Amino acid sequence: DVKVTQSSRYLVKRTGEKVFLECVQDMDHENMFWYRQDPGLGLRLIYFSYDVKMKEKGDIPEGYSVSREKKERFSLILESASTNQTSMYLCASTSQGIEQFFGPGTRLTVL
């Protein structure tokens, strides 16, 4: 079975903390994505990567950065967490773009 895993299902952090969200896929996919999902707003793309060490901004990159040092791992970094970054974060990967495989999501609460 194809697998996209995320480091935590639930996370609680304080304002100003640096937060790392990790995503790992075992399908040798070139493309990986980070989305956030908020009620009434649907899924919004934060960043994506189409190769190791490559990254592209999505629709809402402000306040976030990413790292892709290995093909299987794509990390989302909140340099200084704020309360408006409380959200569900979803990672996805794909090879040829027909089907994206999503992880289970990380529900982040920033207090």
Residue 83 is classified by DSSP as: G
Residue corresponding to tokens 């609460």: 109
Q: Tell me whether residue 48 or residue 64 sits nearer to other proteins (CB atom).
A: 48
Q: Which residues bind other proteins (CB under 8 A)?
A: 4, 30-31, 33, 35, 40-43, 45, 48, 50, 54, 56, 58, 90, 92, 96-105
Say if CB 27 and CB 3 are below 8 A apart: yes
Say if CB 110 and CB 86 are below 8 A apart: yes
Least distance from other proteins to the Cβ atom of residue 76, Å = 14
Residue 36 is classified by DSSP as: E
Least distance from other proteins to the Cβ atom of residue 85, Å = 19
Q: Tell me whether residue 33 or residue 64 sits nearer to other proteins (CB atom).
A: 33
